Amino acid sequence: MALTRLIVVVLLGAALPLLFFFFSRAEAGALGVSYGRVANDLPDPASVVNLLKQNGITMVRIYDANQKVLTSLANTGIKVMVMVPNENVAAVASDQSNALQWVRDNVAAYYPATQIHAVAVGNEVFDMRPDLNSDLVPAMTNVQAALAKLNLADNVKVTTPVAFDALAESWPPSAGRFKDSIAQPVMKPMLDLLQRTGSYLSVNYYPYLTYMAQPNAFTLDYVLANSNPGVVDPDTKLRYYNLLDAQRDATYYAMDKLGFASLAVGHTEHGAPSGGGLHPGHGGRRLLQAGNGGAVASVANAQAYINNLMNRVLAGNRGTPHRPDADMDVYIFALFNENQKGTGADDVEQHFGLFYPNMQKVYEFDFRRPTGGGAPVPPATPSWCVANAGVGDARLQAALDYACGHGADCSAIQPGGSCFLPDTKAAHASYAFNSYYQSMNRAAGACDFNGAASIVYQQPTMCAATASWCVANAGVGDARLQTALDYACGNGADCSAIQPGGACFQPDTKAAHATYAFNDYYQRKGRASVACDFSGAATIVDQQPTMCAATASWCVANAGVGDARLQTALDYACGNGADCSAIQPGGACFQPDTKASHASYAFNSYYQSKHRAAVACDFSGAGSVVYQQPKVGNCVLPSNG
């Protein structure tokens, strides 16, 4: 990071209004960290990898291709961006063989065990090494060719991080354009290369530092991302609620002017200091004070800025006024406070870390889900990762292989394993995906598998230990059921429970008794499919049936019917016998505060009060009976069974 970017082109002349992010629950972007190591007190790479995993961080950028770091990241599933340092750019640009050797030594030697997904060629070359400007695109081209030669180009993208001050103008955003010195000779061929290779432009955004350099040009809340009425681009009439979106759109407009209106932009650095100030050489030493008299670079302000940014990415609110469908993949700068940066301990350069070198957080944040800034964070809702069978067996197999090779414990789905049955691609993939996801502390990015998986919030059946049962086909008639029942009871099934006075004698019907006997026989035969035939009198099912009146069951909400129908049914349940006190504000089961969770609690209370009569869990299609005890957040639903 170079603080020369601070005296940049965003000069509005007057203080601007403030920002509030209106979150939409779209698919979230990717969120990672920049792992800088300009310090003499940082933990070893293996400890750092454990820290990443513990905090659900699934993407990391490093500023070289350090062997210890890349080796430590192997078989973790954490995506890595490596870098050709600025001092190597000229050599890589001058000779294709140099680029090929660099890629062999620093990418191919570790891939795929280490999930290198991008190579940054240089860092802020226009600022830090302008003498290399003419070498930048040739170096990127040679690295791209080397990746292609080694059959890595489809999975590893080439980019280069540029500082935001590569723009000559940025306000209003629609006036955004690159500096004349680089626009045609460097940016245009670079953007063409990125577009042709399916890559993206990388920009290091620091709205917070822009404010520190120009404290009279903006309000602090506008930069921190707090509530405000917005400011309008006078040319396009688009309204901006934060400095970040104004800067992003200025970048997009600058690319538009060069003919690249659809190219993506990634945020390779994006941070806020928790202390220090700007020193000589970075726009002059300043005593930086916020309007309320507090220090601008403070823990509280950094926490507000970073949490608002992270919440936005996690919530899926990625677009800008000019590009509503834009992606927003962000590397937070930086993982640690680095004590050898800048000019001393009071320089902001040493205060960008999310963690202190002792691996304690500088302030609270969460890479897994939106959090309320400095407010107490409620316990995470339990979640699981399951396969999307619709993608087909080929994609499931590829993803399954990846999961099993990168930390998932797949021993249970091997032949003879406790979860080998059912022997289907979808069942095995769900088991492997979930094992991987749980090992990565349920980070959202750990349940993607290129669209082959999704997160669910009700515990699924992961294996045949509880996955199949044998039930009677009542339609064959009582005579055939009796014959089959006699066979089962005479050939190994324990039918004592369905004798008069037995625990499962009720309900006293041929179908109920046959189901009990058939299933006992089937389970004793290792759930072999032939053991649930009985000449067509039985069928295998994958949801646990009620075997007798004593079997426990619960009623849960069908979220797919929508909140309006759930609310109507919830009101009915609470008004007709359900005890809904626990889901009132402050109640033991109020969290998670969603319609589906509250409805599940109310539906189940009503259902249990009606002695689990099937009709008591209908609610016009909004409820379903289940046979495994569900949880609503941290609240276990009770049963009278």
Q: What is the pLDDT of residues 254-297, one digit of tens each?
A: 999 999 999 999 999 999 999 887 654 443 323 333 333 235 78
Residues 393-408: tens digit of each pLDDT: 888 998 899 888 887 8
Does pLDDT of 465 surpass 80? no
Class level of CATH domain 168-264+272-370 = alpha beta
Residues 6 or more apart in contact with residue 143 via CB below 8 angstroms? 84, 92, 99, 102, 103, 119, 121, 158
pLDDT of res. 14: 29
Bigger pLDDT: 449 vs 58: 58
pLDDT of res. 552: 64
Q: For 532, what's the count of Cα atoms within 13 Å in the CB-facing half-sphere?
A: 23
* Confidence band of 618 (pLDDT split at 50, 70, 90): confident
Does pLDDT of 4 surpass 50? no
Residues 213-240: tens digit of each pLDDT: 777 777 887 788 766 567 789 999 888 8
Which of 169, 269, 338, 349 is the catalytic position?
269
Most confident of 13-22, 242-251, 362-371: 242-251
Q: DSSP character for 73?
A: T
Does pLDDT of 375 surpass 70? no
Residue 269 among the catalytic residues: yes
Nearest to 99 by CA among 162, 144, 33, 55: 144
Residues 6 or more apart in contact with residue 477 via CB below 8 angstroms? none
Residue in this structure with the two tokens 């600058």, named with its chain if needed: 254
pLDDT of res. 640: 56
pLDDT of res. 103: 98
What percent of the chain is helix, strand and coil (3-state, nearest 5)? 40, 15, 45
Does pLDDT of 28 surpass 80? no
pLDDT of res. 611: 65
Q: Is 534 left (phi over 0), alpha (psi -120 to 50) or beta?
A: left
The two structure tokens encoding residue 31? 């969120």
Residue 99 phi, psi (nearest 5) = -65, -40
Residues 543-553: tens digit of each pLDDT: 667 666 545 66
Nearest to 599 by CA among 574, 625, 630, 627: 574
pLDDT of res. 27: 36
Bigger pLDDT: 361 vs 531: 361
Does pLDDT of 540 surpass 50? yes
pTM listed for this prediction? 0.59
pLDDT of res. 106: 98
The two structure tokens encoding residue 206? 């620091």
Ordered by start, the domain boundaries in the chain are 168-264+272-370, 384-456, 469-541, 554-636
Mean pLDDT of 7-35: 46
Bigger pLDDT: 606 vs 381: 606
Q: What angle (nearest 5°) sits at the alpha carbon of residue 592, between those of residues 328 and 594?
A: 80
Q: DSSP character for 270?
A: E
Q: For 172, what's the count of Cα atoms within 13 Å in the CB-facing half-sphere?
A: 13
Mean pLDDT of 590-603: 89
Burial 30-64 (b: 16+ CB within 10 A, else e): bbbbbbbbbbeebeebeebbebbbebbbbbbbbbe
The two structure tokens encoding residue 500? 């008069």
pLDDT of res. 63: 97
* Averaged pLDDT of the chain: 83
Does pLDDT of 617 surpass 80? yes
The two structure tokens encoding residue 391? 């993608």
Which of 124, 169, 338, 349 is the catalytic position?
124
* Confidence band of 208 (pLDDT split at 50, 70, 90): confident
Identify any residues that bridge with 557 across adjacent strands, giving them in sequence order.
623
Residues 37-71: tens digit of each pLDDT: 999 999 999 999 999 999 999 999 999 999 999 99
Does pLDDT of 124 surpass 80? yes
Q: How many CB atoms lie within 10 A of CB 216?
A: 10
pLDDT of res. 511: 85
Q: For 519, what's the count of Cα atoms within 13 Å in the CB-facing half-sphere?
A: 25
Question: CB of 251 within 8 A of CB of 174?
Answer: no
Residues 327-351: tens digit of each pLDDT: 889 999 999 999 999 888 888 899 9
